[in-house]
Structures are given as C-alpha cells and as structure tokens.
Amino acid sequence: MPKDHEAFQQAIYSFLEEGATDGLRRSLQEVHPADIAEMFPVLSLAQRVKLLRIMDPEQASLVLFELDREMLPPLIESLGFNRTADILDAMSTDDAADLLGNLPGGIKQKLLDLMETQEAEDVAELLEYAEDTAGGIMTTEFVAIHQDITAERAIQLLREIAPDAETVYYVYVVNRQAQLVGVISLRELILAAPAMLIEEIMRRKVISVNVNTDQEEVAKLVAKYDFLAVPVVNDNNELLGIITVDDVLDVIEEEATEDMMRMAANIDVDEQGPDAGVLRRASRRLPWLIGLLFGELIAGHVIEGFSGTLQNMTALAFFMTALAGGTGNAATQSLTVVVRGIATGEVNPRQVFKVVWGEAQVGLFIGLTSGLVLAGLALLWQDSLSLGLVVGASLALSITLSTILGSLVPVIINRFGIDPALASGPFIATLMDVTSMFIYFSLATLILVR
Amino acid sequence: MPKDHEAFQQAIYSFLEEGATDGLRRSLQEVHPADIAEMFPVLSLAQRVKLLRIMDPEQASLVLFELDREMLPPLIESLGFNRTADILDAMSTDDAADLLGNLPGGIKQKLLDLMETQEAEDVAELLEYAEDTAGGIMTTEFVAIHQDITAERAIQLLREIAPDAETVYYVYVVNRQAQLVGVISLRELILAAPAMLIEEIMRRKVISVNVNTDQEEVAKLVAKYDFLAVPVVNDNNELLGIITVDDVLDVIEEEATEDMMRMAANIDVDEQGPDAGVLRRASRRLPWLIGLLFGELIAGHVIEGFSGTLQNMTALAFFMTALAGGTGNAATQSLTVVVRGIATGEVNPRQVFKVVWGEAQVGLFIGLTSGLVLAGLALLWQDSLSLGLVVGASLALSITLSTILGSLVPVIINRFGIDPALASGPFIATLMDVTSMFIYFSLATLILVR
C-alpha cells in the first residue's frame, strides 16, 4: 500500500493551512518520517518550523536528517538552537555528525555546545574523520559483548542495551582490550542453546574495515559479501563503530551520481542541486567548458593548416560535423562500457590488452560499417566517388581509433590510481575531434587535391 | 582485514595447479564464496569444474550464483546436470530463479526436471514473474506467523523454521486467509515480554509492494525508508514473498549502470560485457551511431545551404568544431544534472518551469562567458572583429539554448512515462550540432557577407 502516504501528506497539508494542531499531531503519527521530509520543499519556512515543533524529538530527528542540507541554516535559526540541539540528541551519532558536518562552522559549534555532553563528545569525535571514509559514515552505537558470557546472559544484556543501539542484527564480540575477536548474528544467538558460551558459538573470522578506508571500498565490500553491517576498527583492531547497509545504499547512489557527473559532464556532483545559486552552479561548470573550448581550437588549427585544401573544395565542410560527431559518439560508447565495467567489477582493468583489443575489434566492425554508410551518402549527395571514399575512410579510421582511445585511457588512468570516470566523454570527444579532423583533411589532401 | 582473502585465493590456485585435493578442500572452507567466484574468470574450465565438485552443494550454490551468466552454459555441461540440480536445490529460490531465467530454455527445463519437486515448483512459480518486477526479485523463503500466538511461542517457532528462511530480521504476521496484517522485528520480539500476544506487539501498518511493481520502484522504497526487507503481496493482500536489502543493492547498481549506458552512450547495458562476442557488442551499438550520423548530415545540409557564405570566408570553418563541441558539452552537463537529479529524487520533474528556468539562467551565464572567451580568441587568431563577434555571439546563443533543451527534454519525456536517461547526451548533442550550425551561418551571413 505505498500510496497511502500521499493521502496522509494531503491531510497534513490541510491541517497546516487550517492551523488545526490536534489533527496535525494525530496525522503526523501515521506517516513515516521520510514521507514528512518529502513534503518540506513545498512548505513555507513557518510551516516547516511548526511541524518540527509539534513532533517529538525522536520523530523530528528522523525528518531533519532526511532534509536537503541547503535548507537547514535558515530552518535552524527559526526553530531555535535549543530545540535543534534537543532534536540532535535524539539522532543517532553518525547521522548527527553527518548533518553537523554540512553546517557552517558557527552554527555547528553552537549546537555542539547545547547538546548533551556524552552525545556531543561522540559526535565531535566522529566529525574528526574525513567525510568519505569508514570513520565518516560509521555509527558509534553498536552492540558488543564479551566472549566469556553465556548465550542466555547475552540475550538478557541485549534486552537492556538494545534500545540505544542502531542495529542488533550482528552482535560483536570483544576481548578485555576492546579488540574485535568475533561476531554472532542475532539469529544464531537465538538459535543457540542458552547455556553455551559466546566464544563457543561465535564466528572468529570477522571481516572488518579500517576507520580510514574509503567509503567506496566499504560499499563494495558490503555489496560483495551481502552484509547487513560491517564493523570498523583502528590499526590496533579495537572496535570503534559499525556501518549499516542503509548508509551503504546512500554511498552507492552517491558514488554512481559522482561517476555519472564526472564521466558525462566533467563536473563534480556538489552544488548542482536546484537550490544552489545560479552563479555557483555556472562557475562549477565553466572551467572545463572553457578548457575544452581551447582543445576544440586545436581542431580549428588543424583545419586552418589545410585551408588550401578546403578552399579548393568547400564540400569537405559539409561532412565535418558528421565526422566529428560520429567519432565522438563511438568514443563515448566505448568509454562508458569500460568505465562502468570497472566500477561494477565486470571489466578487470589489469587485463589492459584484453579490454582494449576487444574494443578495437568492435570499433573496426562499427567503423567499417558506418564508414560504408557515410561513403554511400556522400556519393549520393555530392556525386563524387573520391569524396565518398575520403569521407568513408576517414570515419572508419577515426571510429576504430576512438574505441581504442575510449577504452585505453580509462584503463591506464585507473592504473595510476585516478578515478577512470575522469576520462570523461567530453574530454575524449574533444581529443577525437582534433584527431578526426587531421585524418579527414590529410586523406582529402592526398586523394582529392593533386 | 579485507586483504586476507587474497592469500587464500593464492593458496587455492597453487593447490589447483598441484592437484592437491585435501589442501584445496581445507582452504576452500576459509574463503567467502564471493572470493571464490572472483577467481573463476582466470581459471580453466577443468579447474572451475573441479572446484564446484569439491565444495559441498551449499557453498557451491553461493559461488555459482555470483558467476557471470555468460560463463554458465559450458560450465553446467561439464559439471553435469545432476550435480548442477543438486547445487540449485541448495540455493535460495529467488537466486535459483534468477540464475535459471538467464539460461537457454533447454538447459533450464532439464535442470528443473532434475531438481527436488518442491524446490522446482517454487522456482518455476517465480520464473513466471517478469524479471524486473517485485515478483522477479523476491524470495519465497520468509518467516510468517499467526497473530494469535505468544511472543515466546513465536521465538520457539523461529528456532524450528529459521534455517530455511532467508531472513528472520522481520517476522511477518498473517491472518487465516494468508493476508498480511502486521510485522514485528526480531529485535522487538526478543525485547517483548514472553507472554504477550503477537497482535498486541505487532505493528499494523506494514508497507508492502505489489508483486507487479517495477524493481526500480521497490529499490527507491527500500532506500527511502531504510528497510532491511519489504514484503510482497498480490492484489488480494496475500503475502507471496519478501525482497531483502542485498537484492536491492544489486538493483540500484543495475539501474545506475542502465542509466549511465543509456544516457552517455545510447546503448543498453545487456551484452556489452567483455565475454560477449564482438559482433553482438558491435551490432548493439551500431543502430544509434548510424541514426545519429543521419542527424549530423542535417547539420551538413545546413552548412551546404550556406555554401556561398562559406566560400566567401573559409575562416568560418576553423571554428565549426569549437562551436559544435562547446555546445554539445554544455548540453550534456545540463542533461546529466537533470537526469541524475530525477533518478535520485533531488529534481522534481513536476516543476518543469523551475528546473528549466534555473538551467536557462546557468546557461546564459556560461554562454556569455564562453562566448566572450571565444570571441577574444577569434579576434586574436584571425584579426577580424566582426568574425570574433559572430563566433562569440553564436556560441553564447547556442549554449543558452542547449542548457534549455538539455533540461527540458528529459523533464518532458519523463512526463510521458519514458525513462529520462533515453534523452541521451549523443542525441541532444546531435540536435545542438544542427542548431548551432544554423545559428552560426545565419549570423555570419547577416553580419559578414553583405
């Protein structure tokens, strides 16, 4: 019944308009926090504040975390710092750290000062870790028990401490030095005989990640092994926190967005949201556009070098965009297949030769076919066999080359530890514009102009 | 300690080379199935078969499921249908259905005939659902209890049935008609007083999905609400299965790949893996390349229409690729921001005007700046103020237009229920090549040639 929530959203909206606080309170209890957060973009600031005041801190914390970060500073000012600090106290530490980390320094410090001491300390500690590392996405609320207690005692302990822990689906086992020594799933704990010792039933092989591991690596690990959560340790194997699968879902979506933005459009994902200012969005896109413009001018220089040939036969100009465009498209196809293949693990970047040779064969086939088509069209349109030959041969050669470059460049830069998505489509397309113009006018000069 | 598995992989490889079966068996027990599957691409067919024979069916099933689908038919032939059927019996029903669904019809039927009757029936039922729906990714192995038993009895029941269920983190509650009426998490069940009735502690509001819901919708739902699993029901609200978060991770990665392939390269993701044949890969890419080639020829026609202008001033040709390229790049940036924004929910496609107006403003700023730069360069290079003016003004106008088109097209086709990623970069870039050439030569004819 996923459509139910729309009816409740409508009800909340009506109650807000009427100022009916009781109805509002009742209907808010019926709706998932994610659905309440979904309404915020269309509400006024006063309405947003009203909702956050009526909800209890627990619910408000879940809603607040879901909101677009750019919406927060004015909202917090209107809501008041004291109320916001209460809401943050109710939030899990990793979410609170994530939220605070995205706020201006002044607001962040003021809120930390107003929060409960223990919670504020935990959050401040999490804020020390780089945002895109395991430390930056882990939570410190996890369940750890000692290895020398019984299964029955462990379940009893869970009853006492569980409400504070983000997930109890895995229970981690530590020794007296707080080092991670084992893991047991809640399911295994329940299925075990009550008198068994934890160290008899725990699994001793625990896959963990270091606190400084890149978040993309963590996401790959969780996806590969189908984990619900993964423990985070320091260099001394002391258990510091856990990362749960819901945070990993966010990371995977974030990384796919980043790849797509870099590869297709040469821009970083940050600050392109509809709520960011026009100037900021434009200034993030400009540098590459201008840089590529200079690249394209090299193609212009190549053409100018052959201006004698062009003057003799202006019909050459009619096929320039077809050549440059077709070559760019073929390059982008190869690039996308290889870059995405590396990201999902389907393409092994160590097998450079295999990858490039495969794409080269595909390119040769595509190039010959497309070249034949374009040659035929040029012949029909301009009634010149030699022009058709030049146009077709240029396209065939350029496309073959473009699939080789489109697969070689990402594989090579991946070897140097650079994100292959940075070998973006526009970059390769510009490179191929220069190359294809050189091939085209060279062939034309050789064959057409004697 | 994520690096441990590489040492074990190395050991397995050595044992395989030496033919040391005992060592092989021992080291296989130390390695996660995902790590064993990771080795398969570099092993010979005989080595692959040997590994699958040595492992017990349970472990072999986990490995087999992780393998590239194109690798399977010859492997199954060599392994034997009986052994493969045993392995499939040990697999969870959703994984078995997913695997069988990707095999040729003959092999699929033979294996179903050899599998255990109950398992084969369950799998055959799952195979009826379309691959990209909730039914296609759900498992039928879940835990459901009746509402009128106690918490204590429920935990007892779980002890008995749990080993067969893929996840017991949520326990679903059904009435006598098998209709879904509530849910309780394993955590809540443990924390509850043993004598409480399930209907007293269960949550009655269960978010479920219909069996025919698109898998992308399911993934969005699970990600939005941070679920570990979501129940699947038919139109009569009868519980049919569950979808777990690990399957959703796969869907999110699959959909991101599909979006990227469609948007950047106009190709569907299927059959572009390195193990697919060259001809098949090429034939999937060709249609669009050829189609776009015809599109580019329209640009050629526009240029031919202005051949008088071009003959008078061949210098115009030097800036053609810069104009076409720069416009295409700006269009791709807008397109990527909007398409990805729609996919992640950051851009609301209903607010057409807001989205397009925002991009238009960005485009105007980018266009004017880039235009100014190119005008300056044209002036320096060709020493002609009027040429610089034409080149700069054309770029400014084309870029502004390209950001409008790049944002408008995906928003509009999304309205018609078409995947916005199909408004791909190459398509928009080709459209803009035609438009920018028209603007360029029109302005040139107006200003330069009198």
Convert the pLDDT of each residue in A142-195 to its tens digit. Answer: 888 999 999 989 888 887 776 555 566 788 999 989 999 999 987 788 778 889
H/E element, A168? none
Q: CA-to-CA distance for B31 and B394, rounded, in angstroms?
A: 62
The answer to whether B213 and B129 are in contact (CB under 8 A) is no
- pLDDT at A296 exceeding the cut of 90: no
For B207, other C-beta atoms within 10 Å of its C-beta total 17
pLDDT at B339: 85
Chain A 10-69, CB below 8 Å of chain B: which residues?
30, 32, 34, 41, 68
pLDDT at A272 over 80: no
Whether A174 and A181 have beta carbons less than 8 Å apart is answered as yes
- In which element (H, E) is residue B171 found? strand B170-174
- For residue A227, give the chain B residue with the closest CA: B246
DSSP state of B139: B
Answer for the pair A431, A270: CB distance below 8 angstroms, yes or no: no
In the prediction, which pLDDT does B275 show? 62
Euclidean distance between CA atoms A237 and B153, whole angstroms: 40
Tokens 């939220």, residue?
Answer: A99
Report the alpha-carbon distance of residue A282 to residue B363 in Å, rounded: 7
Residue to substitute from B321, B384, B432, interface A, most A β-carbons within 10 A: B321
On whether the CB atoms of residues A156 and A170 are closer than 8 A, the answer is no
For B193, the closest chain A residue by CA position comes to A159
Residue B254 lies in a domain: no
- Tokens in use for B157? 């029941």
CA–CA separation, A76 and A98 (whole Å): 16
**In a 10 Å sphere around its CB, with 0-12 CB exposed, 13-18 middle and 19+ buried, how is residue B278 labelled?**
middle
Q: Are residues A289 and A185 in the same domain?
A: no
Strands A144-146 and A170-174: parallel
C-alpha distance from residue B422 to each of A67, A440, B336, B411 (Å): 29, 31, 11, 11
**Which residues in chain A are contacts of B289 at CB distance < 8 A?**
326, 329-330, 333, 366, 370
Domain boundary among B128, B156, B174: B128
| Predicted pLDDT of residue B272 | 67
CB contact under 8 A, B260 and A256: yes
Q: What are phi and psi of A247, to 5 degrees?
A: -70, -30
**Are A203 and A316 members of one domain?**
no
- Do A293 and A421 fall within a single domain? yes
Residue A69 lies in a domain: yes
Answer yes or no: is pLDDT of A2 > 50.
no
A108 vs A11: which has the higher pLDDT:
A108
* pLDDT digit string, tens, across residues A353-381: 888 898 899 999 999 999 999 999 888 88
Cα A229–Cα A230–Cα A235 angle in degrees, nearest 5:
160
Residues of chain A numbered 92-151 and touching chain B (CB < 8 Å):
none
Chain A residues touching residue B40 (CB < 8 angstroms): none
Quote the Cα angle for B219-B145-B230, to 5°. 5
A139 CB neighbours in chain B (<8 A) are none
Rounded average pLDDT over A249-273: 77
Give the domain range for residue A338: 278-447
> Are B341 and A273 inside 8 Å of each other by CB?
yes
Length of chain B equals 450
Read off the tokens for B41: 């691409």
Distance from chain centroid for Cα B269 = 8
Residue B257 lies in a domain: no
C-alpha–C-alpha distance, residues B413 and B433, integer Å? 21
Q: For residue A307, give the nearest of B295, B310, B314 by CB distance.
A: B314
B237 and B338: one domain? no
- Both B89 and B151 in one domain: the answer is no
Name residues whose C-beta falls within 8 Å of residue B374's C-beta, 6 or more positions apart in sequence: A293, B319, B322, B326, B391, B392, B395
Q: Does residue A148 sit in the same domain as residue A213?
A: yes
H/E stretch holding A230 reads strand A229-233
**A296 near B CB under 8 A:** yes
Instruction: Show Cβ contacts of residue A253 under 8 Å, excluding neighbours closer than 6 positions.
Output: B223, B252, B256, B344
Q: Which residues of B touch A252 (CB under 8 A)?
A: 249, 252-253, 256
Cβ of A337 within 8 Å of Cβ of B267? The answer is yes
Is the confidence metric ipTM above 0.90 for this complex?
A: no
CATH classification of the domain holding A425: 1.10.357.20
Cβ separation B321–A324 shorter than 8 A: yes
pLDDT at A81: 94
Residue A212 sits in the same domain as residue A101: no
A:B CB pairs within 8 Å: 359
**Domain holding A64: CATH number?**
1.25.60.10
| DSSP helix/strand/coil, B380 | helix
Domain end: B228, B244, B260, which one?
A: B244
Contact B264 A263 (CB under 8 A): yes
pLDDT: is A1 or A413 the higher one?
A: A413
Instruction: Say which of B272, B289, B325 has its CB closest to residue A330.
Output: B289
Chain B touched by A187 (CB under 8 Å): yes
Residues of B in contact with A63 (CB under 8 A): none
From the list A271, A407, A263, A284, the residue with the least C-alpha distance to A347 is A407
pLDDT, chain A, mean: 86
**What is the structure's pLDDT at B443?**
93
- A233 pLDDT higher than 90: yes
In whole angstroms, give the CA distance from residue B2 to residue A230: 11
Starting at the edge strand that comes first in sequence, how are the strands of the sheet with A239-244 ordered?
A209-210, A229-233, A239-244
CATH code, B236: 3.10.580.10
Q: What is the pLDDT of residue A230?
A: 92
Query: A176 and A50, same structural domain?
Result: no
Contacts of A362 in chain B (CB under 8 A): 278, 281-282, 285
Q: Is B190 on the interface with A (CB under 8 A)?
A: yes
Q: Is some CB atom of chain B closer than 8 A to the CB atom of A243? A: no
What does R_g of chain B's alpha carbons equal in angstroms?
A: 30
Residue B262 maps to a domain: no
**Same-domain pairing of A315 and A226:** no
If one compares A201 and A267, the residue with the highest pLDDT of the two is A201
Best CA proximity match to B274, nearest among A216, A361, A252, A429: A361
Q: Which residues in A lie closer than 8 A to residue B361 (C-beta atoms)?
A: 278
- For residue A419, what pLDDT band results from cuts at 50, 70 and 90? confident
Residue-level pLDDT, tens digit, chain B, 450 residues? 345 677 778 888 888 888 788 888 888 888 888 889 888 888 889 999 999 999 999 999 999 998 888 889 999 999 999 999 999 999 988 889 989 988 888 899 999 999 999 989 989 989 999 888 999 899 888 888 999 999 989 888 887 776 555 566 788 999 989 999 999 987 788 778 889 999 999 988 889 999 999 998 899 888 888 888 899 999 999 999 999 888 888 888 888 888 888 887 777 766 666 566 778 888 888 888 888 888 888 888 888 888 888 888 888 889 998 999 899 889 888 888 888 888 777 787 778 888 889 889 999 999 999 999 999 988 888 888 899 999 999 999 999 999 999 999 888 888 888 888 877 788 888 889 999 999 999 999 998 866
Tell me which of A226, A244, A262 is where a domain ends: A244
Residue A342 contacts B, CB cutoff 8 Å: no
Q: Are residues B316 and B441 in the same domain?
A: yes
Q: How far apart are CA A380 and CA A374, in angstroms?
A: 10
What pLDDT, on the 0 to 100 scale, is given for residue A1?
39
Burial B367-382 (b: 16+ CB within 10 A, else e): bbbbbebbbebbbebb
A276: nearest CA partner in chain B: B358
For chain A, positions 396-425, list CB contacts with chain B under 8 A: 425
Interface contact B165, partner A, CB < 8 A? no
Has residue B134 been placed in a domain?
no
Query: Given pLDDT bands bounded at 50, 70 and 90, which one contains residue A450?
Result: low
| Residue B327 touches partner A, C-beta closer than 8 Å | no
B30 shares its domain with B116: yes
Find, in chain A, the residue whose alpha carbon is nearest to that of B280.
Answer: A362
Residue A337 in any domain: the answer is yes
Q: How far is CA A182 from CA A172, A207, A208, A295, in A?
A: 6, 10, 10, 56
Q: A-chain residues within 8 Å CB-CB of B319?
A: 297, 300
Number of domains in chain A: 3
d(CA B274, CA B264): 19
Write down the pLDDT at residue B180. Answer: 95
DSSP state of A70: G
How far, in Å, CA of B307 to CA of A317, rounded? Answer: 9
The answer to the question of residue A270 being in a domain is: no
The residue count of chain A comes to: 450
Q: Indicate if A289 and A351 belong to the same structural domain.
A: yes
**pTM for this structure?**
0.75
Please give the pLDDT value at position B162: 61
- Please state, in angstroms and rounded to a whole number, the distance separating the CA atoms of residues B282 and B412: 31
Nearest to A285 among B278, B366, B425 (CB): B366
Q: Is residue A148 part of a domain?
A: yes
Note the pLDDT of residue B1.
39
User: Mapped to the 3 state alphabet, what secondary structure does A194-229 carry?
Assistant: CCCEHHHHCECCCCCEECCCEHHHHHHHHHHHCCCE
Whether B330 has its CB under 8 Å from any CB of chain A: the answer is yes
Residue B261 in contact with partner chain A when CB distance is under 8 A: yes
